[in-house]
């Protein structure tokens, strides 16, 4: 039987029962559409996390305080703070694979200025912070090492703080009171957006770390130390170097555990993306079950079709059709049903992804590879589940088929 005739006969058979054919394809339509939407959401989340991690800074390495132990039980990272400005000086003096170091002394307080007041986080940092975080200024200038040495009362506002306290104006040159400490605004940061944890990075105030430590917080210990490796390739070497310097600075004997934790961008990204990948795989697997259910539906309908067309099969065999021709004909019908469902599901998945993106604001990424695999898999489902009914039809006895009522 010619290929052209095979497809023609298959289309005619499918068109005879339009509603039944559509219902048969429904499982495939839902499966393909769901897979595309779920994977698009998952990959979009991964891309967004990667973008947010990259926004943390250039070749970033973070030193956190260590963990305290109570009755032999670890209380978690950050519960034992022994990071000091002496550690920062030690790194600046002896580190060869680092081109920027900044302590972070975090506090918070009421900000008063402009049109009212606003509660925000205040970070004491060094001038290196701006290059480490790759943070540009929208207006004004960053503070300098001179400001750090003199504990100058100057600050740089995040975009959110500037927007709420000084709407529709440039606050550079104006005064801002942090708690009871008046500070001169010398710059406004460019918009950075949310971080990987969903926190607004623009809702902050940056000031020289000496100003924050001696005029605001009064704490001896610091929250974190940010470092920037000289290149992405040197991050592992820089991490090892920092570990050695920190142990030496803290006088930790050999064999004793660190009282600090070092992480880089890759560690942070992997921790975030592992969770997202597991969730994406789970959602895609659940959606993929619909494809299997759709395949079972195709097999059931094809079995019914074989029963309904038994006399037709007998007539075809009586005029010379071979078993292979009958098998191919029914297999083509099952495959066309499945591919038709896959194509409709593909279109629905693309439209649904755009709706999710526009209506809910979720970041989605359509993958051509995923779309191709989903469509191809729908065809394989049709072949796999259509083979048994097709085989059953090809094995019919022509005489029994002609006498079938």
Is 90 exceeded by the pLDDT of residue 315?
no
Q: What is the mean pLDDT of residues 357-385?
A: 80
User: Which tens digits make up the pLDDT trace of 32-55?
Assistant: 888 888 888 877 777 766 666 656
Q: Kindly give the pairing relationship between strand 175-178 and strand 60-70.
A: unpaired
User: Which tens digits make up the pLDDT trace of 246-286?
Assistant: 999 888 888 888 888 888 766 666 656 666 667 667 766 76
Q: Are 192 and 55 in contact (CB under 8 A)?
A: yes
Q: How confident is the model at residue 152, as a pLDDT?
A: 95
Q: How confident is the model at residue 158, as a pLDDT?
A: 94
pLDDT > 90 fraction of the chain, expressed in percent and rounded = 25
User: Which tens digits make up the pLDDT trace of 25-36?
Assistant: 888 888 888 888
Which residue is it, tokens 């400490």?
181
158 Cβ contact list (under 8 Å, min separation 6): 120, 188, 189, 192, 201, 202, 203, 204, 205, 206
Confidence of residue 73 (pLDDT cuts 50, 70, 90): very low
Q: Kindly give the pairing relationship between strand 204-208 and strand 154-157.
A: antiparallel
DSSP code of residue 203 = S
Q: Kindly give the pairing relationship between strand 204-208 and strand 116-125.
A: parallel
Q: How confident is the model at residue 71, as a pLDDT?
A: 42
Burial class (CB in 10 A: 0-12, 13-18, 19+), 10: buried
pTM of the predicted structure, to 2 decimals: 0.60
Q: What is the mean pLDDT of residues 140-164?
A: 94
Q: What is the mean pLDDT of residues 323-328?
A: 75
Q: How confident is the model at residue 74, as a pLDDT?
A: 46
Is 90 exceeded by the pLDDT of residue 19?
no
In the chain, the N- to C-terminal Cα span, in Å, equals: 26
Q: Which of 145-154, 273-282, 321-330 has the highest mean pLDDT?
A: 145-154
Q: What is the mean pLDDT of the chain?
A: 81
368 sits in which H/E element: helix 368-394
Q: Give the chain's largest Cα–Cα span.
A: 105
Is 90 exceeded by the pLDDT of residue 299?
no
161 sits in which H/E element: helix 159-165
- Quote the CA–CA distance of 6 and 19 in Å, as a whole number: 22
Is 70 exceeded by the pLDDT of residue 150?
yes
């Amino acid at each position: 039987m010619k290929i052209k005739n095979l497809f023609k006969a298959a289309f005619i058979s499918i068109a005879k029962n339009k509603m039944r054919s559509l219902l048969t394809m429904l499982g495939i339509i839902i499966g393909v559409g769901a897979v595309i939407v779920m994977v698009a959401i998952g990959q979009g989340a991964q891309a967004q996390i990667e973008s947010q991690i990259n926004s943390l800074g250039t070749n970033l390495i973070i030193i956190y305080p260590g963990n305290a132990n109570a009755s032999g039980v670890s209380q978690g990272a950050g519960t034992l703070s022994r990071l000091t400005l002496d550690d920062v000086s030690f790194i600046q003096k002896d580190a060869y694979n680092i081109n920027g170091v900044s302590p972070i002394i975090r506090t918070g307080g009421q900000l008063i200025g402009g049109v009212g007041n606003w509660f925000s986080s205040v970070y004491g940092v060094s001038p290196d912070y701006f290059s480490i975080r790759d943070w540009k200024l929208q207006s004004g200038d960053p503070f300098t090492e001179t400001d750090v040495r003199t504990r100058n009362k100057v600050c740089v506002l995040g975009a959110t703080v500037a927007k709420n306290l000084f709407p529709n104006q440039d606050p550079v040159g104006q005064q801002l009171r942090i708690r009871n400490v008046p500070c001169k605004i010398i710059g406004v940061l460019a918009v950075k957006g949310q971080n990987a944890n969903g926190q607004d990075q623009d809702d902050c105030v940056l000031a020289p770390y000496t100003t924050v430590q001696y005029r605001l917080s009064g704490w001896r210990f610091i929250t974190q130390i940010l470092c920037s490796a000289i290149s992405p390739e040197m991050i592992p070497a820089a991490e090892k170097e920092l570990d050695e310097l920190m142990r030496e600075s803290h006088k930790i004997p050999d064999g004793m555990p660190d009282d600090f934790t070092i992480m880089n961008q890759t560690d942070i990204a992997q921790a975030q993306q592992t969770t997202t990948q597991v969730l994406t795989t789970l959602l895609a697997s659940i959606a993929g079950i619909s494809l299997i259910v759709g395949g079972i539906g195709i097999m059931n309908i094809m079995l019914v079709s074989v029963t309904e067309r038994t006399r037709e099969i007998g007539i075809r065999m009586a005029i010379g059709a071979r078993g292979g021709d009958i098998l191919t004909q029914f297999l083509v019908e099952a495959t066309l049903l499945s591919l038709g469902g896959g194509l409709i599901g593909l279109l629905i998945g693309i439209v649904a992804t755009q709706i999710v993106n526009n209506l809910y604001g979720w970041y989605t990424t359509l993958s051509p590879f995923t779309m191709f695999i989903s469509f191809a898999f729908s065809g394989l489902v049709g072949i796999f589940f259509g083979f048994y009914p097709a085989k059953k039809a090809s094995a019919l006895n022509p005489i029994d088929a002609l006498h079938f009522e």
